[in-house]
Structure 1
Amino acid sequence: MAGRKAGGGGDGAALAGAVAVLAAANVLNNRIAPRLAPLTSAAATGALLALARSRGITWAEIGFRDPARGLRIGGLLASAVAGVYAAGVALPATRRLFRDERALSLSRARVLEETLLQVPFGTVLLEEAGFRGVLPALVARSHGPRTATAVSSALFGLWHVLPAVDMATANPALTRLAAGGTQADPAAAPLAGAPGTGHGTYGTDGTVRPVRSGPRRPSGAETARVVAGSVATTALAGLLFGELRRRGGLAAPALLHLATNSLGYLFARLAPGDPPAAARGRAAVTR
């Protein structure tokens, strides 16, 4: 293609540089300065685009094309995500999966910050430019589009290791589900208000269980399962996003990605809470 430079060692160095930029941004955004993620991600996105352009990769190859088609596809999928989330929050069997402490512990102002600033500019901007734009464009030059999509999707899965470690603690219901338990496992969330004892509570089987002051921290094995599941599912999501990029440029996966993450914060706040402790205790005793 016109404007391309020859591949080889230069492309390999550019690819290694892109991965290094993404790794540094991942640590900064998840461990060192999360609130500064929009600035970090903007700087990292600029560095990635500069790397790609320095190798002669065009804007169209990166994915800046077909904006109208991409917006149509992404808009339809974003609407579908909203519908699925609404159904999930409405159904008792699934609503616990939406109660994520990372969202529930935030003030309304912070939730708005997450949905309107942190997610669009701290997450979606960099991930789409990096994993659906620059990385596949660099890999495709030497190995073709299919390999490029596979490699970028695998790296996208690994990108989610640190967030998954946090999620294991922040979303106990999801952690129990990943560990092979149930969402409403009474051993993991004992019922309060057992009469006649100051040292425990009645579970649904009538036995007395010790009171815990807060959510149980997941074990190492539970965290590992959550991380493995997150890496696998986000890698598969990367394949889907890659196909959307092929069909509608970066706009299509970016809109779906934005809806998935931003609406997740909003629906976590909308998910009904557990029944009051006293009511749960009375229900357990009468069983």
Structure 2
Amino acid sequence: MSARGSDVRWAAGLVLLLAAWNDLVVPRLPRRAYVPVNATATAALLAAARARGASWDELGLDPRRLRSGARHGGACAAVVGAGYAVALAVPAVRPLLADARVTGLDRWELAWRVLVRIPVGTVVWEEVAFRGVLPPALHRVLPSRAADAAAAGLFGLWHVAPTLEGLALNGVGTTPARRTGTVAAACLATAGVDVLFTRLRRRSGSLLAPVLLHLAANDLGAVAAAAAGRGGPE
């Protein structure tokens, strides 16, 4: 098998895996399996990439870049935190933060979500897959812009099932037209997020930067949603 053919098969396999994972595989898992299955997938994907010769630097995991990743990611995370604080402080905006997926959780369930489910099951898995392993694989077989566009589009599609779940639980998007429009908007928005996170990863040289930003957005979002849903500060 030629090196080019091997690279194409690896990239295509990654695309198919990630296209199916969040929208077809995860919805069929028991909820308690979400974290261990995604953690196992993270380790397996890293092992496969390393076995194919990907360096730690290509994967964004070079220890020498951790300081840069912490600096860039920490600054972005602080901006996100400030944004949530302002939103919670503005009465007209505060109700918009509420999310039925979080509001009904007790303190222990919220702690599990913030300290385990989101960091391990969502953030680390998605960053390793989309900002660590996928980009070098695509860049070996596609022109730079096409590779970036494919990764962004795939990350957008990754969020179809979670968006539908959120709409159902929050009782919005009750008509097919509204659901379709909301899902399309969510896919476009998260594709844009991929562009931002990828630039942050490249600028910092470390996967830690988008991990910190992603963690701040999701974890602080969950805390803010809990606070907004309960009508008072946590």
Structure 1: how far apart are the matches of 2:98 and 2:30? Answer: 24
Q: Which residue of 2 aligns with 1:12?
A: 8
8 Å contact from structure 1 (residues 15, 138) kept in 2:
yes
Structure 1 gap segments, 5+ residues each: 177-217, 275-287
- What is the deviation of 1:221? 1.5
What is the percentage of aligned positions where both structures have the same residue? 41
Give a deviation string over 1:16-66, Cα, whole Å, max 9, x none. Answer: 222343345423433422332221111111222233223222111111131
Distance of aligned partners of 1:170 and 1:95 in 2 relative to their CA distance in 1, 3 Å threshold: farther
Q: Which residue of 1 aligns with 2:218?
A: 261
1:233 aligns with 2:229: no
Give a deviation string over 1:142-173, Cα, whole Å, max 9, x none. Answer: 3244333222111111000000001112345x
Distance of aligned partners of 1:44 and 1:19 in 2 relative to their CA distance in 1, 3 Å threshold: farther
Number of equivalenced pairs: 227
What letter is aligned with 2:5? G
Structure 2 gap segments, 5+ residues each: none
8 Å contact from structure 2 (residues 97, 225) kept in 1:
yes
Among 36, 39, 44, the alignment partner of 1:39 is 36
Q: Which residue of 1 aligns with 2:107?
A: 108
8 Å contact from structure 1 (residues 21, 48) kept in 2:
no
Q: Which residue of 2 aligns with 1:67?
A: 66
TM-score, normalised relative to structure 2? 0.89
Structure 1: how far apart are the matches of 2:104 and 2:162? Answer: 17
8 Å contact from structure 1 (residues 18, 48) kept in 2:
no
Matches within 5 A, 1:1-287: 7-26=3-22, 27-65=24-62, 66-172=65-171, 175=172, 218-248=174-204, 249-271=206-228
8 Å contact from structure 2 (residues 139, 147) kept in 1:
yes
Give secondary structure in 1 for the equivalent of 2:53: coil
Give a deviation string over 1:245-284, Cα, whole Å, max 9, x none. Answer: 101221100100011011111011111657xxxxxxxxxx
Structure with the greater alpha carbon radius of gyration: 1
